[in-house]
Structure 1
């Protein structure tokens, strides 16, 4: 007897024996052993991977669920609840599960379905998995989830996404799932929904092939640029040629700067009108300056320290692609090698020059050898030279730290002088920085010597903060073999150092300059104390000192001195008598007067008294 579906209640089907229920619900069925499904799953996992295999079985279950949902709706049913309850029955009818329990059906305030909580017992997918005697880290009932989602989506006529929250394969007593309308899933939807999307492996292979072709083209172009960069490197070309090659190859404006953010090379189109000091980065990074402008920057490393940056400029809202990231990394490596070569060359040259200056100062070379070496090092022996000795207040008594800072200071000063094309030797001696300058090269660049020295000290103070620098400046000699005298002059100028002044000229010293050339400064201090120590004790306002100084400056003539300081003759005689008594000297004794005058000049040079 043929049963008409439209006359049969859906709920009555599940009261029938299993074989009769199957014949009533399905026109024809085939059976598939669990072992065959498990073998298929293993083969698919091997062929297409675990993620893709999971998606296949979810969609396989989905199509089964959709088919059953369409069939269920052809029977008589009274409410949505009848259709929902039929799902678990069909699950068990197929043999997917031993038992299904609907734990809760929740509706929101508007009466709309919010979620369905279901428990599954003895899933066929779990049963086969547990025979391996291992637990899974994730739920594995993919076919069942797909079936439930397909069935509910069909009978409720809205997309329902089913997610397994607990699985017996993970060690739980039974499996639990939650069924929620797709629009109510929120952010979790993206992680699960893609398994329900059917994708073509051929299409994906085409996409992968296209990506591989792009990557191949990128590698080919990167290799070609790398080959050109190596060619320029081997030809010992500088950074500007590297910049030119990169601009010709990419069309991107590019510039290279040093660690102090001064441009070393750039393409013609580059105008840097933004502050680079705020754009430091220790990795390749794209930095947006505005909606229209961005910088792809990468550091240039040398001896594990950042010694500069290589930067592509992007305008009109453009952004870098993978190829440009690869190219700028190549540019950084090439620039690093160039800087390393230049650094080795400069250090070698500096060490030779420093050795040469040390030999001159210590008198280890005869004139013939000195002149020959000077020509070799590009110093004309018959040119004029002057010297600068820089002393810094060292707050750290650690000698190794002092030497380390001095070496860094030498490199910095060398860099500044090279940038200004000044031919010079920079070295250190007795903890001080000494700079021998070829006056001819200096005259071509600078007119005002004091301005140059102050700027040099300012740069050093900026580079080495929290340290005070003082400079002693020598006179100018006409031949290089007179250099040792220049060093002595700079030391004399520094010994007469006024703490309120940064630059001290030897030529500003008077006859007292002879005293400042005494190596032991203790002897100078003892001389000054012996000559004027008692006068300093009693003369708190320096009135007697000013009077004595004016008296000597006016040729020890009372009348001229009185006019010069606008004082009466009697008042002047009283002061001179006071001075003579305090110092216990005869003011008519030229030798004694000169000694006191020398001592006052030393104090004046050091800034301890003001005349």
Structure 2
């Protein structure tokens, strides 16, 4: 037997061609073979499990060496600790040294322990760099495991070693630190995470259980969704769909529109819901829930809420309510809630299509009325189909709209959006049956007085214009209202009145009644159009000849000046001009007309001419402004 003594701590000898270290059979393994195992483990079980594997492996090596050193009664406890790095280096793991040490023992009990040191030329970091390149964190798991196992075995209490920097990260050397587990506090969680990793088979078993649970959850969600879809196909309403969901999960359900008006509900007293809704507050931590589902708490429990989308816009909300003490099944319930929102979206789309179809039919009916295609009896009979009594007095409203500035939206988008908003306004807010016809840049509304009295007509149209301005801030909305009519066959005449009136509406006064036109409204018609144009030419002279943008600017200045009764301050404010700028324009206009603008009689004649100009030359003026 031949003995090779490296020092007093590590004895290597050969017996029957087998190698032994400190009387334990040993094998020589190259660092390259370790690197291959390292690479295969990461590729097959992942780096997190590889950490656990190597840490425990190093821990066992350290414990075994500690047991050998513990047999040497001649050594002090501190000497036994200091021999750890020496044995570590002798075994070829790394060149190891201690740089700092704090060690306190009272009555054979460890009170404090803090050692720091370095590893140079770590075989583990070397192989990681060769196989994977630079790491984002420490990689010497067998080394930290060895140090942890060795010191724990020597001192008899749990310690933990970790790397503060590592060659695998590109640092010049590995820096380590060891303390009592109790001293690491939160950082000791890394140690416990290593120790508590489940065996792969156990983890696979738990994963399989989770997959089975997910499969059952998906089956339940799929079954509920199929039942809801079948109800939808049958043409049943939202109440029957909520019955299916309520029967499955026994939860209170609420469906609201975008204004949070309740459309349908199940399993809840609406008065209780309204009173508790004000106390809803969003719960910040929503990790357990579906990304589109918000969690709210309120006095009596918890609510899950998800939006209903239609054509890319939120049109409503679906909510599940949980009484206090009931634990929500977030994963399953959020999926079912999402499917319910999808079904509600389809219901809303169906309702939207039906409403639009009805509105188009009504609009076509209005066109036919104005064309004189039907007799009065035929009109009354057809109006019954849309639940509208046209034997009553009525008004025609002309609602025009245009973009105030250049906008990314197209005119068609504004036209479609305005039609939908006006239709929804009368249907959902005012609850009125109104016929809506369409012209380029204009909606024609027929409103009967059995629904809105003449006194309330202006108030309602003002509210409508304000609503439209709020919803579409970059557009201008103007309205003209016809005189009261009783004969439905004269709807075409009423429309012309409304269109004439709207041409005198402005941003300052967006609504004009045909009756506001006074005598001018009676005079303007096809028979005397030439006479009206002559009157305009006589009064406006060169301002009317060869109209262009510059002359339209003078005409608009004159109109505002007369409308404000000759008040310079109010005129300047309405035109956003300085007083000096306004005086310059008025002097220019006076010179062009060669008339006294302060003469009351002359003011009346000029105002009549300007109003007539806005009406009879409306299309021409609009074309010049668009150039």
Considering the TM-score relative to the shorter chain, is it more than 0.5? yes
What does residue range 151-166 of structure 1 map to in structure 2 within 5 Å?
Answer: 151-164=150-163
Flag the 1:288–1:211 CA change in 2: closer, same or farther, 3 A: same
* Aligned residues of 1:252 and 1:314 also touching (Cα < 8 A): yes
| SS of alignment partner, residue 436 of structure 2 | strand
Q: Give the equivalent residue in structure 2 for 1:218.
A: 217
| SS of alignment partner, residue 339 of structure 2 | helix
Q: Which has the higher mean CA deviation after the structures are superposed, 270-279 or 283-292? A: 270-279
Per-residue deviation, 1:326: 0.8
Q: Give the equivalent residue in structure 2 for 1:118.
A: 118
Corresponding residue to 1:52 among 49, 52, 74? 49
Per-residue deviation, 1:87: 0.9
**Aligned-pair Cα RMSD in Å:** 5.0
Flag the 1:466–1:523 CA change in 2: closer, same or farther, 3 A: farther
Query: Paired residues, what number?
Result: 531
| SS of alignment partner, residue 19 of structure 1 | strand
Q: Please state if 1:64 is matched with 2:49.
A: no
* Aligned residues of 2:9 and 2:87 also touching (Cα < 8 A): no
* Aligned residues of 2:254 and 2:265 also touching (Cα < 8 A): yes
Structure 2 unpaired stretches of 5+ = 106-110, 542-557, 568-595, 616-627
Flag the 1:512–1:43 CA change in 2: closer, same or farther, 3 A: closer
Quote the Cα distance in structure 2 between the aligned partners of 1:448 and 1:584.
35
Quote the Cα distance in structure 2 between the aligned partners of 1:277 and 1:513.
56
What does residue range 396-545 of structure 1 map to in structure 2 within 5 Å?
Answer: 396=405, 401-419=410-428, 420-437=430-447, 442=451, 448-465=456-473, 469-478=477-486, 480-495=488-503, 497=505, 503-506=511-514, 510-515=518-523
Flag the 1:235–1:438 CA change in 2: closer, same or farther, 3 A: farther
| SS of alignment partner, residue 482 of structure 2 | strand
Q: Please state if 1:19 is matched with 2:28.
A: no
Flag the 1:17–1:283 CA change in 2: closer, same or farther, 3 A: closer
Q: Deviations over 1:202-233 (max 9, x none)?
A: 54344334323332232122112101110122
Q: Deviations over 1:183-216 (max 9, x none)?
A: 3435544345411335344543443343233322
* Aligned residues of 2:148 and 2:161 also touching (Cα < 8 A): yes
Q: Deviations over 1:118-147 (max 9, x none)?
A: 314463x567778x7654636554333212
Q: Give the equivalent residue in structure 2 for 1:566.
A: none
Q: Which has the larger radius of gyration?
A: 1
Quote the Cα distance in structure 2 between the aligned partners of 1:401 and 1:19.
88
Corresponding residue to 1:303 among 311, 314, 319? 311
Quote the Cα distance in structure 2 between the aligned partners of 1:100 and 1:257.
70
- Say which structure is richer in strand: 2
Flag the 1:499–1:418 CA change in 2: closer, same or farther, 3 A: closer
Quote the Cα distance in structure 1 between the aligned partners of 2:205 and 2:610.
91
Q: Give the equivalent residue in structure 1 for 2:179.
A: 180
* Aligned residues of 2:399 and 2:443 also touching (Cα < 8 A): yes
Quote the Cα distance in structure 1 between the aligned partners of 2:610 and 2:292.
61
Quote the Cα distance in structure 1 between the aligned partners of 2:386 and 2:374.
18
Quote the Cα distance in structure 2 between the aligned partners of 1:446 and 1:242.
43
Per-residue deviation, 1:501: 5.7
Corresponding residue to 2:348 among 339, 349, 359? 339
* Aligned residues of 1:62 and 1:151 also touching (Cα < 8 A): yes
Q: Give the equivalent residue in structure 2 for 1:101.
A: 96
Q: Give the equivalent residue in structure 1 for 2:333.
A: 324
* Aligned residues of 1:87 and 1:152 also touching (Cα < 8 A): yes
| SS of alignment partner, residue 156 of structure 2 | coil
Quote the Cα distance in structure 2 between the aligned partners of 1:405 and 1:161.
69
Q: Give the equivalent residue in structure 1 for 2:572.
A: none
Flag the 1:157–1:303 CA change in 2: closer, same or farther, 3 A: same
What does residue range 550-561 of structure 1 map to in structure 2 within 5 Å?
Answer: none
Quote the Cα distance in structure 2 between the aligned partners of 1:30 and 1:522.
120
| SS of alignment partner, residue 324 of structure 2 | coil
Q: Deviations over 1:100-127 (max 9, x none)?
A: 321412439999433321314463x567
Per-residue deviation, 1:73: 2.8
Corresponding residue to 2:395 among 386, 396, 408? 386
Q: Deviations over 1:263-312 (max 9, x none)?
A: 33333434235479998x99613243557554423222222333333233
* Aligned residues of 1:379 and 1:438 also touching (Cα < 8 A): no
* Aligned residues of 2:86 and 2:96 also touching (Cα < 8 A): no
Flag the 1:71–1:177 CA change in 2: closer, same or farther, 3 A: same
Quote the Cα distance in structure 2 between the aligned partners of 1:171 and 1:251.
59
Corresponding residue to 1:348 among 340, 349, 357? 357
Which TM-score applies when normalising by structure 2? 0.68
* Aligned residues of 2:163 and 2:175 also touching (Cα < 8 A): yes
Structure 1 unpaired stretches of 5+ = 1-11, 543-578, 586-594, 607-611
Q: Give the equivalent residue in structure 1 for 2:81.
A: 84
Q: Deviations over 1:312-363 (max 9, x none)?
A: 33443755611111112112222222222333333333334334434544x3
Flag the 1:466–1:57 CA change in 2: closer, same or farther, 3 A: closer
Which TM-score applies when normalising by structure 1? 0.70
| SS of alignment partner, residue 274 of structure 2 | coil
Quote the Cα distance in structure 1 between the aligned partners of 2:36 and 2:605.
112
